């Protein structure tokens, strides 16, 4: 009987340990970039800004990061086109090889099977288009065929569409949407100066930064195509990312000097600073659980 009690206790505490470990791992649900080891590296933290830790240690600057649907890995894109998959638990970095070089703005699809990215194949930075490719490097497809600059792709929750920015050199970058299957393109904004930093929530509502009112602020673009301003400050506010409950945004702001990460509650409009790096932190990406089980 004593052995049975010991066995039950061991099983209970073992199960409890696994549960706690699982919860602990899942609480680090925000990835972002901060300077370390002479390069911009990926860091992670929890929703309150705690448990901040450096994840990657690569010998190049990282410019874009996105979550795999398992919340155990990140896709990173280096400034020179490098692509890699990074383990949240160990920081192990495995290169991802695709047929095209010079990729920018690369992001993983909601099902973790495809990568969307921007690249120029005409040896000019103003001739970029949006491409997609399987994570194994197969089925490379160019899904926009537009002049000038197409960049910053963002997957819809369903994975059926990709939102992106397009600029023609005439003092504007507008928001477009392309259907992955048909490659049909819809233009969502027209002549509203610059738009950057698209982020999408599970209701397909967009957040972005824009200088349409003379200064870069955050806006929310609802399904009825009305842009509502969310911040008002002389500093630059940009690179928003939705909280999973869609009640707030984490974003990058220079309102106290160096760029650091802040949270805004969309109901109370209260702000909270989450990072305090001297050299700055930027490009936050909040894990979205609802994106993990799409096709």
Walk along the chain (295 residues) in steps of 10 and give the mean pLDDT of each run.
40 37 60 96 96 97 98 97 97 96 96 95 76 97 92 95 86 89 93 82 91 88 81 94 96 94 96 96 92 43
- With respect to residue 134, please indicate whether it lies within any of the assigned structural domains: yes
The rounded distance, in Å, linking the Cα atoms of 244 and 154 is 16
* Residue whose tokens read 């569409």: 161
DSSP letters, 224-243, are TS-EEE----SS-EEEEEE-
Are residues 7 and 90 located together in one domain of the fold? yes
- With respect to residue 3, please indicate whether it lies within any of the assigned structural domains: yes
Are residues 50 and 81 located together in one domain of the fold? yes
Are residues 41 and 89 located together in one domain of the fold? yes
CB contact burial 2-11 (16+ within 10 A = b; e otherwise): eeeeeeeeee
Are residues 54 and 81 located together in one domain of the fold? yes
Torsion of Cα atoms, 221 then 227 then 231 then 234, to 10°: 130
* 240 token code pair: 């928003």
Are residues 60 and 106 located together in one domain of the fold? no
The rounded distance, in Å, linking the Cα atoms of 222 and 244 is 17
- Of the residues 95, 116, 133, which one is the last residue of a structural domain? 95
Are residues 9 and 60 located together in one domain of the fold? yes
- Of the residues 95, 111, 138, which one is the last residue of a structural domain? 95
The rounded distance, in Å, linking the Cα atoms of 42 and 52 is 11
- How many Cβ atoms from other residues are within 10 Å of residue 271's Cβ? 15
Are residues 32 and 112 located together in one domain of the fold? no
Are residues 21 and 78 located together in one domain of the fold? yes
pLDDT at 126: 65
- With respect to residue 207, please indicate whether it lies within any of the assigned structural domains: no
Are residues 136 and 118 located together in one domain of the fold? yes
Torsion of Cα atoms, 62 then 229 then 202 then 236, to 10°: 10
DSSP letters, 29-48, are -EEEEEEETTEEEEEEE-TT
- With respect to residue 106, please indicate whether it lies within any of the assigned structural domains: yes
- With respect to residue 109, please indicate whether it lies within any of the assigned structural domains: yes
The rounded distance, in Å, linking the Cα atoms of 186 and 110 is 21
Are residues 87 and 29 located together in one domain of the fold? yes
pLDDT at 125: 57
pLDDT at 169: 66
Coil, strand or helix: which one is 257? Answer: coil
- Of the residues 50, 68, 95, which one is the last residue of a structural domain? 95
Are residues 173 and 115 located together in one domain of the fold? yes
pLDDT at 1: 45
R_g (Cα) of the chain, nearest Å: 20
- With respect to residue 292, please indicate whether it lies within any of the assigned structural domains: no
Are residues 102 and 173 located together in one domain of the fold? yes
pLDDT at 10: 37
Number of domains in the chain: 3
Q: Which residues constitute the domain of residue 124? A: 97-191
């Amino acid at each position: 009987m004593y052995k049975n009690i010991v066995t039950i206790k061991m099983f209970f505490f073992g199960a409890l340990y696994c549960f706690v470990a699982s919860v602990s791992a899942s609480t680090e649900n925000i990835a972002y970039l901060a300077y370390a080891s002479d390069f911009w590296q990926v860091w992670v933290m929890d929703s309150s800004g705690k448990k901040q830790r450096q994840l990657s240690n690569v010998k190049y600057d990282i410019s874009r990061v996105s979550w795999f649907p398992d919340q155990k890995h990140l896709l990173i894109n280096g400034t020179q086109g490098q692509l890699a998959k990074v383990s949240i638990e160990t920081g192990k970095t495995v290169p991802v090889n695709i047929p095209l070089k010079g990729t920018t703005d690369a992001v993983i699809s909601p099902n973790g099977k495809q990568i969307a990215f921007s690249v120029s194949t005409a040896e000019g930075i103003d001739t970029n288009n949006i491409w997609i490719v399987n994570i194994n490097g197969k089925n490379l497809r160019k899904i926009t065929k537009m002049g000038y600059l197409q960049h910053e792709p963002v997957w819809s929750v369903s994975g059926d569409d990709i939102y992106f920015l397009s600029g023609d050199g005439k003092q504007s970058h507008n928001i477009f949407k392309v259907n992955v299957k048909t490659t049909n393109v819809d233009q969502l904004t027209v002549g509203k100066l610059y738009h950057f930093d698209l982020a999408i929530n599970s209701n397909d509502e967009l957040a972005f930064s824009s200088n349409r009112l003379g200064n870069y602020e955050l806006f929310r673009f609802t399904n009825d195509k009305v842009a509502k301003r969310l911040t008002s400050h002389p500093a630059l506010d940009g690179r928003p990312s939705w909280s999973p409950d869609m009640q707030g945004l984490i974003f990058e702001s220079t309102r106290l000097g160096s760029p650091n990460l802040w949270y805004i509650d969309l109901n109370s409009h209260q702000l909270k600073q989450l990072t305090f790096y001297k050299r700055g932190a930027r490009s936050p990406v909040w894990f979205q659980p609802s994106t993990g089980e799409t096709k």
